[in-house]
Chain A
Amino acid sequence: MTIASIIQQLCFLTLAAVVVLGALGVVLLPNIVYSAFLLGGVFLGMAGLYLLLNASFVAAAQILVYVGAVNVLILFAIMLVNKKENLAVIPGLLLRRLLSGGVCAGLFVLLLRVAFTTHWALPGPQPVGEEATIRIGEHLFSDYLLPFELASVLLLMAMIGAIVLARRDVFSSDVITGEPVDQGLIEKTRQPLLIDSTAAAGQPLLETTP
């Protein structure tokens, strides 16, 4: 066993521990802000694993897209919707958690069995190593050209869809004076949709924000 392989195994074990413990923290921690930051740690650990797998370009893309965009987006979403609310107690929550935990453990065992009993065609061809970026570029502009172009259309659709979905309805004119408002920043009060009428009459379904 050479020193290179020892170092590689140490790196793998560390990164795997970071990823797995971070994922457990994302799921289990009660404070969602901690979860979001741990999710960034998981993404960074995944990028390290990609580096171990001779994929420097995808590791860079992972850091740029996931840590730089998705995680920041999630943090902004948390800041926008983070309101203290008292979650209603659900009967049988513990039983539900245990049941789903059992199902997930069964799925995990099944996946492990598949991974360890299948005869993989190892050793495969030698990895291209540092030429991976060149190969990816060749793929993207030859045999994966159509998915590549479709991905750009998909991103455009997602961008427009996100803007349309998250946009607020605003008045174009002042409510009292009727003068046109330049910025249109007066938000329309919106009745919350589909409130149960009995719940609305009895106990307020919505906690009114002060």
Chain B
Amino acid sequence: MSADPLAVTRNASEAVTIAFGSSIPLQAYLAVAALLFCTGVWGLINSRNAVRVLMSIELMLNAVNLNLMAFSDYLDGQLIRGQVFAIFVITVAAAEAAVGLAILLSLYRNRETVDMERFNLLRW
């Protein structure tokens, strides 16, 4: 009966997972992610500080990650490919933040400002 004490724990945790699985609808996560993404887009368009633009990009990436994780848990519970994708997104986001802030630092040395309205060299 108690030959495998881990089995009891595992069964209990499975029961908890199942009981937890269905009390929040998938659409709630999607709505939160959509709101986060739209906030990020608005900040990306309207920020005048270049650092805030980078922060808005991070917000958008996080919204995408939340979507991936929600789909992974609700629709792909066995293979959880969404979690793997989320890890890759986190990796790319870290690289993007490092390079973006380095570019920002270089821009600041050249132009002495972080005002996005003054970075208008490519304006037609």
Contact = CB atoms under 8 A, between A and B. Distances in A.
Interface of A: 1-2, 4-5, 8-9, 12, 16, 19-20, 23-24, 26-27, 32, 35-36, 39, 42-43, 46, 49-50, 52-55, 57-58, 61-62, 65-66, 69-70, 73-74, 76-78, 80-81, 83, 85, 87-88, 90, 96-97, 100-101, 104-105, 107-108, 111-112, 115-116, 120-130, 132, 135-136, 139-140, 144, 147, 151, 154-155, 157-159, 161-163, 165-166, 168, 190, 192-194, 206-207, 209
Contacts, number: 272
Given A9-B24, A128-B78, A194-B121, A23 B36 contact: yes
Contact of A32 (B28, B40, B51, B103): B51
A87 B36 contact: no
Interface residues of B, number: 88
Nearest to A20: B35
A128 B18 CA distance: 10
A190 B94 contact: no
A121 B75 contact: yes
B80 to A, nearest CB: 5
18 contacts: A8-B23, A23-B36, A23-B39, A55-B73, A61-B87, A62-B90, A66-B62, A69-B94, A74-B101, A88-B117, A104-B45, A115-B27, A125-B77, A126-B21, A127-B21, A140-B84, A162-B99, A207-B112
Contacts of A105: 38
A65 B90 CA distance: 7
B98 to A, nearest CB: 4
Interface in B32-56: 32, 34-43, 45-52, 54-56
A96 B46 contact: yes
Interface string B71-100: 011111111110110111011111111110
A26 B54 CA distance: 11
Given A62-B90, A155-B94, A107 B121 contact: no
